Amino acid sequence: MAKKPQIVILGAGYGGMIAATKLQKKLGSGEAHVTLVSKHKYHYQTTWLHEPAAGTMHHDDARIEIDKVLNSNRANFVQDTVISINKDEKKVILKEGGELAYDYLIIGVGATAETFGVEGVFEHAYHKWTIDGVRELKDHIEFQFSKYRNETVHKDEDLTFVVAGAGFTGIEFIGELSERVPKLCEHYDVPREKVKMYVIEAAPSALPGFDPELVEYAMNLLEHRGVEFKINTPIAEVKENLVVLKEGEEIPASTIIWATGVRGNKLIEESGFEAMRGRVKVDADLRAPGEEDVFIIGDCALIINEETERPFPPTAQIAMQQGAVAAENVMALIRGGTTSNLKPEILGTLASLGGKEAMGTVNVSFLKGRKLYGRSAYFMKHMSDNRYLMKLGGPLLVLSKGRNPF
């Protein structure tokens, strides 16, 4: 009897979870053995983390237990940390559980913060966009407000919040924080004028890639809530309770949030893959160059948009599409077929702005190419979130974890 092929998936992010669920549904009984490896026992919604970070959502609402989605009769789950990948011996080395041999490997191990060479980020800024990271940030924010009334001497930085980066993550976080600040001030008896919020962006515009009208809408809304933008303003250094700008200005702040973008997991380069900022320029079928049995997806995969000649951003929707294609291609190879190429499809780009405000574009059905603002954008963003949950776990998962779009 032939040995069943071993399929190993590293990482339980959007791409890894879609790949695992697709394989467990479509592989025949006994056709292959699937193993998903993750250091957490849960999958978390990265695109929701700005809400628990600001305290407008409980962090448990942003995570999904893997055993609620993975069928243990069709796929195996291993909770462990990947130390290295030995491509020559086709083995994955784990921190606690020894080794895992594979015939086919799907790598989706996520990303880390990109500092762009700025010193002090890891030491003095909140940069971990994970469940634990945002929980720590939320507790810190509330602590800054709670201690205000207990101190006789107040410093300017006590209630100053600086967000480095005016991209998706930075804007969505400051949107939630600016919406919550009045409630925190009321709860802790803090004068509203004592709170300062800054967003600092090195690029010439906030929200690079968005339509200028949408950017203007977002900035006007956030400025109305008290957010001050410093655009085209690089950061030189982050110190304890201090942000130093390249032009020389210094902003004292007790809370510094780093949201300037990400780079692929260092595991990629350490395992011998040729990469740029931790991202591998994969083949059209998502295989690592020169590798017949290794697929790379999500934040660690670099795919060029032929229309713009720029990389596709490492978004959740692209990662989901990559996970599905990687799973299909592994099944094709097992069955003696040929692989298919990924054809990325951008279904829309929607950014939440706190409360029931959002903005963006939608490229589906009669809304194709339509700009959306306010409640309509908020509705479509939540419907998009629910669509992912439906793909991942069906109606029961939507009922238990779905967003109310109204």
Catalytic residue numbers, as ranges: 172
Tokens of 235: 């950061």
Report the alpha-carbon distance of residue 334 to residue 395 in Å, rounded: 31
Whose tokens are 């407000």? That residue is: 145
Rounded alpha-carbon distances, angstroms, from residue 27 to 8, 94, 332 = 14, 26, 11
Quote the CA–CA distance of 252 and 285 in Å, as a whole number.
48
Residue 119: name the closest of 258, 265, 249 by CA. 258
Report the C-alpha gap between 89 and 86 in whole angstroms. Answer: 6
Strands, E, within 202-296: which ranges?
Answer: 227-231, 235-239, 242-245, 250-252, 255-258, 262-264, 280-281, 294-296
Instruction: Give me Rg for the CA atoms of the chain.
Output: 22
Report the DSSP beta bridge partners of residue 373: 359
Rounded distance between C-alpha atoms, residue 57 and residue 210, angstroms: 26
What's the token pair of residue 2?
A: 């032939």
Token pair in block for residue 146: 């709670």
